[in-house]
């Protein structure tokens, strides 16, 4: 059993009897993982929750006796080995129990030699059962992989499908509902396939099946238990592609199929998916391709007026910015084909920006207004798309940074308050009040958590916002200072110069000057 301990459950309502069994087990020199219960009802609850190899139980117990426990356990765990031990007067019960599935019977008081012989025999049976199950598992795995390979490669083999059905059950073809077809430009070695499959299982939380189709192609079948919606599924495809190229250092492409009802429908899709892969020359560098038989109708319904805003609101609210990036890229591709007025397109883009920025505490009300102004002033869609993608990336980076740091809630509240009110006059008492704590405790905690004082953090944050305004707007320097919390223009210029070694005006006129 590869070093895994055999799990034994000892059931007896008398503690002295349980202690005696534990003593005999220790004397036998055999290694076990041992659990104890004082009645059948308690033992049955434990057996329903986890795996037990050997059940050693008395007959006479309160709530649920040994006979009822055995009658319930055998259907629940057919492979469990049962040892019954009791007094001489219960021998007739023991004989009946043998017909229920009891393997051995021990009489009280238990003899050490007899006990050791029985336990050794039962252990041998457990190990034999484990070995048989392992061999059957290997056979099933080989049959499954061969059957999947035949189906996905279009090889008609009724015999192997019948064998797969008899071993795996008829439901196995209904287990999967999505597929990734992964193609490598160069042949992949056996070791590289193993690394790729390990990474894939990790990305899919183990709820998938990977099948090697050729020296260049691998299929990933997604189990229905994943319950992925289209957006998360597409984000998974993008992330898996990056991980594969990073892991194997090879160029690869992924064709992600649409959701279908079962494995047979996936197999029917394979010729079209391979055709999609062959047509990758016209995809202008795209490495992740999404195959849909009726894609246009689906997109029309999916991205009807108003629905895109619901999708953006949901994904931004969940902090799933990877999925949001995929959705927005797909939406732009779809939107270019629609005949909308310039004004309506700008209205839609500003609405999308507003939804994303409102959900992230990194953006203030002024940031939102500034971004909306940039959209309405722009006459190029690629500039607007780049702006929205940049906002998503900023929100993603901020979200991931906060998630990784797992800061104290008080520090997090103080930071969010600064994000929202950095353009106003702020003092320590206001910040402490917003976090429901004392100024002194806030200062100490903030320093411990971030490595810098609150005043230093606020100054840095204000100057960072000033940088952005200098580059993205034509506002006067005095106005930028006021909007970032500096009532005095001269003090703003002095602070800016101390941090960057350059005046705000020179910074604005120096395109490649590094930021904060």
Same domain for 49 and 119, yes or no, is: yes
Strand partners, 240: none
Query: The tokens of 501 are what?
Result: 């070694």
Q: Is the pLDDT of residue 103 over 80?
A: no
CB atoms within 10 A of CB 123: 20
Task: Give the CA distances from residue 503 to residues 187, 500, 513, in Å, rounded to whole numbers and listed in that order.
Answer: 57, 8, 12
Longest Cα pair distance anywhere in the chain, in angstroms? 101
Average pLDDT over residues 84-97: 66
Give me the percent of the chain exceeding a pLDDT of 70: 79
Q: Let me know: does 184 contact 216? Beta carbons within 8 Å.
A: yes
- State which of 142-151, 153-162, 451-460 shows the largest mean pLDDT: 451-460
Residue 164 domain flag: no
pLDDT digits (tens, 9 = 90+) for 152-174: 777 665 655 565 555 555 566 67
pLDDT of residue 295: 46
219-228, 391-400, 486-495: segment of lowest average pLDDT? 219-228
Regarding whether 493 and 396 lie in a shared domain, the answer is no
Same domain, 273 and 187: yes
The CATH number of residue 236's host domain is 3.30.70.270
User: Range with the lowest mean pLDDT among 289-298, 353-362, 467-476, 498-507?
Assistant: 289-298
- State yes or no: pLDDT of 27 exceeds 50: yes
Residues 282 and 194 placed together within one structural domain of the fold? yes
356 and 412 both lie in a single domain = no
| Average pLDDT, integer, range 489-513 | 82
* C-alpha span between 264 and 249 (Å, rounded): 33
Quick check: 245 pLDDT over 80?
A: yes
Average pLDDT, the chain: 78
Q: 3-class SS at 177?
A: strand
Q: How far is CA 227 from CA 12, 269, 319, in A?
A: 44, 20, 19
Of residues 297 and 425, the one with the higher pLDDT is 425
283 and 182: one domain? yes
Quote the CA–CA distance of 258 and 239 in Å, as a whole number: 17
pLDDT at residue 196 is higher than 50 = yes
Pairwise CA distance, residues 311 & 325, whole Å: 12
Q: How many CB atoms lie within 10 A of CB 72?
A: 17
DSSP-assigned letter for residue 8: E
* 26 within a domain of the structure (yes/no): yes
> Is the per-residue pLDDT at 29 higher than 60?
yes
Helices (H) and strands (E) in the chain, counts: 22, 10
In this structure, the number of other CB atoms found within 10 A of the CB of residue 18 comes to 19
Q: Give me the pLDDT at residue 90, please.
A: 59
pLDDT of residue 482: 92
Is residue 179 a part of any domain in this protein? yes
Model confidence pLDDT, tens digit, residues 340-394:
566 777 888 888 888 888 888 788 878 888 888 888 888 777 788 888 889 988 8
Q: Average pLDDT, stretch 272-286? A: 69
Give the number of other CB atoms < 10 A from CB of residue 421: 17
Rounded Cα–Cα distance for residues 85 and 25 (Å)? 14
Please determine, for residue 480, whether its predicted confidence score (pLDDT) is greater than 90. yes
The fraction of the chain above a pLDDT of 90, given in percent, is 3
Within-domain flag for 277 = yes
Cβ partners under 8 Å of residue 129, min gap 6: 79
Tokens representing 369? Answer: 């207004």
Q: Identify the H or E element spanning 247.
A: helix 230-248
Same domain assignment for residues 185 and 278:
yes
**Helix axes 112-152 and 263-278, enclosed angle (nearest 10):** 50
User: Three-state DSSP class for 345?
Assistant: helix
Domain that holds residue 283: 169-293
Boundary of a domain, candidates 250, 273, 293: 293
Task: Give residue 228's pLDDT band: very low, low, confident or very high (50, 70, 90).
Answer: low
Mean pLDDT of 90-103: 65
| Residue 130 pLDDT exceeds 60 | yes
Identify the pLDDT of residue 172.
Answer: 64
Q: How confident is the model at residue 478 (pLDDT cuts 50, 70, 90)?
A: very high
Is 50 exceeded by the pLDDT of residue 296?
A: no
Q: Buried (b) or exposed (e) across 332-364, using 16+ Cβ within 10 A?
A: bebbeeeeeeeeeebebbbbbbbbbbebbbbbb
Does residue 163 lie in a domain region?
Answer: no
Among 276, 293, 310, the domain-final residue is: 293
CATH of the domain at 502: 1.10.10.60
What is the pLDDT, as a whole number, of residue 481? 92
Q: Which of 17-21, 280-284, 324-328 has the highest mean pLDDT?
A: 17-21
**In terms of domains, do 399 and 412 share one?**
no
Is residue 89 pLDDT above 80, yes or no?
no
Give me the number of domains the chain comprises.
4
| Same structural domain, 288 and 329 | no
109: domain CATH number is 3.40.50.2300
For the residues 176-204, what does the mean pLDDT come to? 83
Clarify whether residues 199 and 93 are in a common domain: no
Query: Of the candidates 278, 293, 308, which is a domain's last residue?
Result: 293
**Regarding predicted confidence, which is higher, 428 or 511?**
428
In a domain, 152, yes or no: no
Residue 351 in any domain: the answer is: yes
Pair (267, 359) in one structural domain:
no
Q: How much is the pTM?
A: 0.37
Task: Please indicate, yes or no, if residue 157 is contained in any of the structural domains.
Answer: no
Q: Do residues 115 and 38 both lie within one domain?
A: yes
**Distance (Å, rounded) from C-alpha 150 to C-alpha 146?**
6
pLDDT at position 294: 44
The lowest-confidence range among 81-95, 384-398, 466-480 is: 81-95
Comparing CA positions, the residue from 464, 463, 452, 457 lying closest to residue 416 is 457
**Residue 513 predicted with pLDDT over 80:** no
Check if the beta carbon of residue 172 is closer than 8 Å to that of residue 144. Answer: yes
């Amino acid at each position: 059993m590869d070093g895994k301990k055999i799990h034994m459950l000892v059931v007896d309502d008398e503690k002295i009897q349980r202690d005696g069994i534990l003593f005999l087990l220790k004397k036998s020199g055999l290694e076990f993982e041992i659990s104890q219960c004082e009645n059948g009802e308690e033992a049955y609850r434990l057996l329903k929750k986890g795996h037990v190899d050997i059940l050693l139980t008395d007959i006479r117990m309160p709530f649920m006796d040994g006979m009822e426990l055995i009658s319930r356990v055998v259907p629940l765990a057919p492979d469990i080995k049962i040892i019954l031990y009791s007094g001489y007067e219960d021998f007739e019960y023991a004989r009946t129990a043998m017909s229920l599935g009891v393997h051995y019977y021990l009489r009280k008081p238990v003899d050490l030699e007899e006990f050791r012989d029985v336990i050794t025999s039962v252990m041998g049976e457990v190990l034999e059962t484990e070995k048989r199950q392992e061999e059957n598992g290997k056979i099933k795995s080989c049959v499954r992989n061969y059957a999947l390979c035949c189906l996905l490669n279009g090889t008609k083999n009724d015999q192997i499908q019948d064998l797969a059905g008899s071993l795996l059950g008829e439901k196995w073809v209904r287990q999967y509902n999505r597929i990734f077809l992964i193609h490598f430009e160069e042949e992949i070695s056996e070791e590289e396939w193993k690394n790729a499959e390990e990474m894939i299982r990790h990305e899919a939380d183990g709820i998938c099946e990977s099948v090697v189709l050729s020296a260049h192609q691998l299929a990933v079948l997604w189990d229905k238990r994943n319950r992925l919606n289209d957006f998360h599924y597409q984000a998974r495809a993008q992330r898996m592609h990056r991980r594969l190229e990073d892991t194997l250092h090879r160029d690869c492409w992924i064709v992600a199929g649409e959701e279908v009802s079962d494995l047979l429908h996936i197999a029917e899709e394979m010729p079209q998916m391979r055709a999609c892969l062959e047509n990758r020359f016209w995809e202008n560098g795209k490495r992740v391709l999404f195959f849909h038989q009726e894609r246009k109708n689906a997109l029309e319904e999916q991205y009807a007026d108003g629905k895109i805003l619901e999708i953006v609101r949901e994904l931004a609210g969940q902090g799933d910015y990877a999925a949001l990036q995929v959705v927005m890229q797909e939406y732009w591709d779809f939107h270019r084909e629609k005949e909308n007025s310039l004004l309506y397109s700008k209205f839609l883009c500003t609405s999308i920006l507003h939804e994303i920025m409102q959900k992230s505490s990194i953006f203030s009300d002024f940031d939102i207004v500034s971004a909306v102004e940039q959209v309405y002033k722009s006459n190029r869609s690629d500039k607007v798309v780049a702006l929205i993608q940049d906002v998503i990336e900023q929100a993603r980076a901020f979200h991931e940074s906060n998630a990784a740091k797992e800061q104290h809630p008080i520090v997090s509240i103080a930071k969010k308050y600064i994000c929202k009110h950095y353009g106003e006059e702020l003092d320590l008492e206001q910040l402490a009040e917003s976090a429901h704590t004392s100024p002194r405790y806030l200062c100490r905690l903030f320093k411990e958590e971030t490595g810098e004082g609150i005043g230093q953090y606020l100054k840095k944050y204000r100057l960072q916002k000033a940088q952005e305004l200098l580059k993205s707007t034509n506002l006067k320097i005095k106005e930028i200072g006021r909007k970032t919390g500096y009532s005095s223009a001269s003090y703003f210029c002095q602070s800016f110069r101390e941090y960057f070694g350059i005046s705000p005006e020179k910074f604005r006129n120096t395109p490649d000057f590094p930021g904060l």
